[in-house]
Every structure is written in C-alpha cells, then in structure tokens.
C-alpha cells in the first residue's frame, strides 16, 4: 500500500517514518478540571518491586519490504534491540500480504495473523532462533474481516483473547489446541453509526484484563466524548462494561505495579486543536487502582501542565522506571484550521519527551529536531525505542531514547511493523 506523502517528511534522527494506524489513537471527555495526579508514593512503591528484563531475552521482529509487487513480511528472532548490529532475513519467516504479530513472554510460542484469510498460525521459537510452524485457526467463521494490531492477549498457554472492534466481540481461544472456546458478545451500543469503534491496547493483571472503547469520525478528525471500560475475568470470562464521561479516545495503556493507566490518543489531540469545542480535549489519562475494577473516580490526569502553551502531548507508553513517554506537537507548525487532515497533522512539528508519571514533572526533551509523528515504539523494561526509516523505506534503525539522546540499535532492511518479546 502506498503511504501518504506527508508521512515521508522525516526531519530528524529522533522521529521515524513508519506506518501510522489511523484508528490506533483516539479518546475524549469534557474539558473539566483534570483532577489530582497519580499518587507518587504508590507508584514509587510499585516500581521498587518491578523487575528488570531477564537474562537472555529473545524478541520477534516483524518488518516488511514494499515493492511494486506488494509487501513481503519478515519475522525474525533477535536477542537484543539495543545492540548495534545488521539483521538479515536468512533465517526469517517470510510471508506476503498483510500480517500481524501476536506474542507474550513466558508462553513458549507466538502467533502470526494472516490478514488475507483472517487466521492465526502458531509458531514455536526455539532457543537457537529458529521457528517451527504449528496449527492454524481461522477467525473467518466468526465474522472477523481484518486482523488488528496487537489485538491478542495471551493469559496462559491455553487461553488467549482476540478483541474484534468491528463487531464488538472477543474471541476466546486455546493457543495450545488452536480451537475457539467461546465468543464474548459485547453490548451492541458500542457500535455507533457513522463512527469507527476503537479498542485500546490491552492492560492486564493476574485474573483480569481490560481495554477501553472510544469512537472516531470516519475522517479521523474528531473523537466522541466519553469512553467505556471493558473488564474480563480471565478465569470465568465474565465481563463488565462501564461508561465514563471524563476522557475520550483512550488508546494507549501502561501498567505500574497493579495500577492500570489509559491515555488519550493522537486523534484526540488533533480534534482538540482543530475543533476544540467538540472534536477533542486536552490530553487525558484515567487509571484503575489495585483492588478496583472501574476507573478511579478521584483521578483524571493530564501532562498539559508540563508542556508549553503551544504544545499538545500524547502519552504513548510507560517504561519500567515510571517514565511516561509522549509525543508532543507544536501547534504553530502543525495545522489547526478546520478541514485539515490527519495526514497533515502527522507531518511535522513533533518531538519526543519523557516525564515522571507520578508527579507529571521532571520533563526531559529528547535531543533532535522536530519531525513527523512516529507510529512505531517499543518498551523493554526501562528502555524506550522508536524507529528511524530511510525516506525510500529501504532500511530502518531502532533508536534507544532512554538516555535522552538517541542511540542506534539494530538495523534491518525495510520498515518496522512490530516487535514483541517472546522470552
């Protein structure tokens, strides 16, 4: 698929040109007082218990090369993302078309989603980095029409969840036997006429899994006010759906100890800049505290107080040291007039910052000139990576931003689509 020309504006070694999934970032709420910030002591205590990555990690890199004949996907085992090394595809899984990577450490295998026939295939990753292909399971009989990015949550070797926003359903399947156990049908009102229903990234802790629901216009220029929180009991598959009016377009998530955080997305920021009365709001974050199963009524956070007057931020991830990583756009550079498109919004004026989630302070602006919005990020413990891709998509290097100055890691042909830790 050709990519919008506006996304090819790579201006800095800091920000990468990667595929931006339009539905990945959206969420709203009323522009009321943001409320209190996270409890610093609680976060610090949780971080004290957080473990660093185990020794001898193994990652699966999903990358692709685009040609006039179409896209070729490569799935490659790599032992380090930060090591300066050239990766080749001699031992990779090679697949055509649209594919997705689904993985989770400690499960012992991973899955690849085939966008052409909406199936998942199980693969075993051996210690030597080789792969063994296993059974295939089709989601087509359940009405799935496309495979979502990072749509699978592995709870155990025998239980996984696939969230299907298009039909407001969750497919519960056994990745060992490769059979569907159950289909959870969510309330029909989560699908709205004239809107794209978006499910956030998963956020989970022992015994339960969560995601938020938001709604975006078909043009991806506004997001509806409010959000819903879906909770699943991962033992019984019982679920609840609760509505919340404070934030919208909750898209990204972060886990600190047993506290779950949900952050508004980039289209919310676009709507706020272009249609401030109804299209979006200041960046917003909600949380589910330990022992609770709904959003904390006493808390609605924002990073706006740490930013400049002409800046809008979008939190993308939280690293294991409690740093929130956000992309910040300069609204004097990015378009803010009605009729602007999301491609124009993504094109220029963006930079990375990190800040302490507990205090929404200690802001660090990552070195480098502002550039295009980056749709590809990886968290590994306390490290945070983005990708730097050549203008012709011929080669990509992962950049470790954790120190405040981008440091190069692995380099590989083509462009990055996903990285998941498999061990």
pLDDT score at 336 = 85
Q: State the Cα–Cα distance between residues 263 and 56, nearest whole angstrom.
A: 31
Q: State the Cα–Cα distance between residues 329 and 348, nearest whole angstrom.
A: 8
- Strands (E) located in 165-236: 169-174, 179-185, 195-199, 203-205, 208-217, 227-233
pLDDT score at 198 = 97
Model confidence, pTM: 0.86
Q: State the Cα–Cα distance between residues 336 and 272, nearest whole angstrom.
A: 9
pLDDT score at 106 = 84
Domain 5-421 has CATH 2.130.10.10: yes
Q: State the Cα–Cα distance between residues 121 and 18, nearest whole angstrom.
A: 25
Placement of tokens 């100055």 in the chain = 405
Placement of tokens 């602006």 in the chain = 365
pLDDT score at 14 = 33
Q: State the Cα–Cα distance between residues 33 and 282, nearest whole angstrom.
A: 10
SS3 306: helix
pLDDT score at 125 = 85
The DSSP call for residue 106 is T
Query: Which phi and psi (to 5°) does residue 142 adopt?
Result: -100, 10
pLDDT in tens, 81-114: 999 999 999 999 999 999 999 999 888 899 999 9
CA 388: distance to chain centroid?
18
| Residue ranges of the chain with per-residue pLDDT less than 50 | 1-54
pLDDT score at 45 = 40
- Strands (E) located in 248-322: 250-256, 259-264, 285-288, 311-318
CA 215: distance to chain centroid?
17
pLDDT in tens, 191-226: 999 999 999 999 999 999 999 999 999 999 999 999
Structural element, H or E, at residue 111: strand 110-114
């Amino acid at each position: 698929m050709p990519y919008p020309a506006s996304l090819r504006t790579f201006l800095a070694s800091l920000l990468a040109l990667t595929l931006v999934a339009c539905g990945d970032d959206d969420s709203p709420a009323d522009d009321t007082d943001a409320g209190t910030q996270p409890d610093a002591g609680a976060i610090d205590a949780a971080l004290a218990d957080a473990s660093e990555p185990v020794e001898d990690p193994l990652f699966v890199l999903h990358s692709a090369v685009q040609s006039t004949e179409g896209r070729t996907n490569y799935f490659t085992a790599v032992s380090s993302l930060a090591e300066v090394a050239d990766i080749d595809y001699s031992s990779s899984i090679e697949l055509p078309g649209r594919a997705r990577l689904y993985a989770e450490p400690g499960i012992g295998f991973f899955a690849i989603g085939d966008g052409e026939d909406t199936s998942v295939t199980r693969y075993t990753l051996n210690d030597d980095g080789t792969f063994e292909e296993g059974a295939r399971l089709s989601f087509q009989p359940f009405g799935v029409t496309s495979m979502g990015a990072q749509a699978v949550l592995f709870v155990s070797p025998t239980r996984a969840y696939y969230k299907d926003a298009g039909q407001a359903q969750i497919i519960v399947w056994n990745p060992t036997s490769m059979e569907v156990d159950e289909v959870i049908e969510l309330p029909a009102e989560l699908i709205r006429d004239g809107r794209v229903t978006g499910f956030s990234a998963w956020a989970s802790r022992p015994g339960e899994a969560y995601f938020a629901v938001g709604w975006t216009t078909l043009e991806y220029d506004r997001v509806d006010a409010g959000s819903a929180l879906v909770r699943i009991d991962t033992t019984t598959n019982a679920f609840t759906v609760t509505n919340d009016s404070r934030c919208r377009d909750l898209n990204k998530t972060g886990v600190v100890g047993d506290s779950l955080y949900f952050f508004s997305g980039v289209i919310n920021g676009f709507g706020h800049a272009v249609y401030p009365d109804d299209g979006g709001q200041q960046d917003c974050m909600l949380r589910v505290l330990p022992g609770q199963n709904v959003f904390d009524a006493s808390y609605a956070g924002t990073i706006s107080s740490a930013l400049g007057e002409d800046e809008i931020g979008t939190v993308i991830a939280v690293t294991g040291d409690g740093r929130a990583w956000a992309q910040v756009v300069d609204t004097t550079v990015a378009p803010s007039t009605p009729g602007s498109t999301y491609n124009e919004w993504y094109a220029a004026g963006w930079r990375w910052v990190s800040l302490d989630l507990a205090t929404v302070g200690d802001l660090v602006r990552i070195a480098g000139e502002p550039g295009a919005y980056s749709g590809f990020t990886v968290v590994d413990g306390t490290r945070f990576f983005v990708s730097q891709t050549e203008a012709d998509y011929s080669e990509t290097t992962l950049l470790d931003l954790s120190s405040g100055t981008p440091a190069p890691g692995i380099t590989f042909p083509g462009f990055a689509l996903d990285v998941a830790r498999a061990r």
